[in-house]
Structure 1
Amino acid sequence: MTAQDQDRDPWDEFDRLKPAAPDRVAGYPGGEPQGFGFRTGVRSARVAAGFAVYALVLGTVLVLTGAVVFAAEGQWLMLGFLAVVESVFILAFMWLLAQARNRRTPR
């Protein structure tokens, strides 16, 4: 690397580029994403529901693994804590499904 390359701002080339297309929504390059609450760009209710199911299954598997370990060791307080964690997973699942059903329509 030469001294000239080190003195150059790496964003100069990016700043010189023109937008590929005008913004559909001012301030959001490429337009405002239409997600289900997280601005993820999810367009399909099936994809959003699939993500909610995936999050629930992953969380439940982790909680069940912990529950087996804690039950085997006789740590009943931690087992109760995992029951609370699982209830949070279920509530979050219901919240994500509601957002998937009631997502905003594209403008």
Structure 2
Amino acid sequence: MTYQDQDRDPWEEFDRLKPAAPDRVEGYPGGEPVGFGFRTGVRSAKVAIGFAVYALVLGTTLVLTGTVVFIAQGEWLLLALMAVIEAIFIYAFIRLVRQARTRRPSS
């Protein structure tokens, strides 16, 4: 590193840049969300679908555990609640997979 490089302002390069265009959606600099993985930085549809499968398996395992416990205790109302929760997990899984498959490539 030369003496000249040490004296240079590190922000000089950024000061020369033109201002960016205004955000199309506030809070999402440079663009708008384009499906699952936009904010998390997931670029591959396979990774997004893998996460959706992981979330479904984890949720289903927890629901099945609760179902076994509630059947053993005779808690039929809570068992019905577990069925509703599982339906929500399946619906969310379907939505995540649909979003992962219809993602547009980032520009």
Fold match (TM-score > 0.5): yes
Report the Cα offset of residue 37 of structure 1: 5.5
* Residue of structure 2 equivalent to 1:79: 79
* Residue of structure 2 equivalent to 1:50: 50
Structure 1: gaps (5+ residues): 1-15
Asked if structure 2 preserves the Cα contact closer than 8 Å seen for 1:63 and 1:82, the reply is yes
Asked if structure 2 preserves the Cα contact closer than 8 Å seen for 1:35 and 1:43, the reply is no
Matches within 5 A, 1:33-72: 36=36, 39-72=39-72
- Using structure 2 for the length normalisation, give the TM-score: 0.69
Aligned residues: percent identity?
60
Report the Cα offset of residue 18 of structure 1: 3.4
For 2:59, give the aligned amino acid.
G
Distance, in Å, in 2 between the alignment partners of 1:20 and 1:47 is: 35
Pairing 1:105–2:98 present: no
- Using structure 1 for the length normalisation, give the TM-score: 0.69
* Residue of structure 1 equivalent to 2:4: none
Structure 2: gaps (5+ residues): 1-8, 24-28
Q: Number of paired residues?
A: 89
Q: Report the RMSD for the aligned CA atoms in angstroms.
A: 3.0
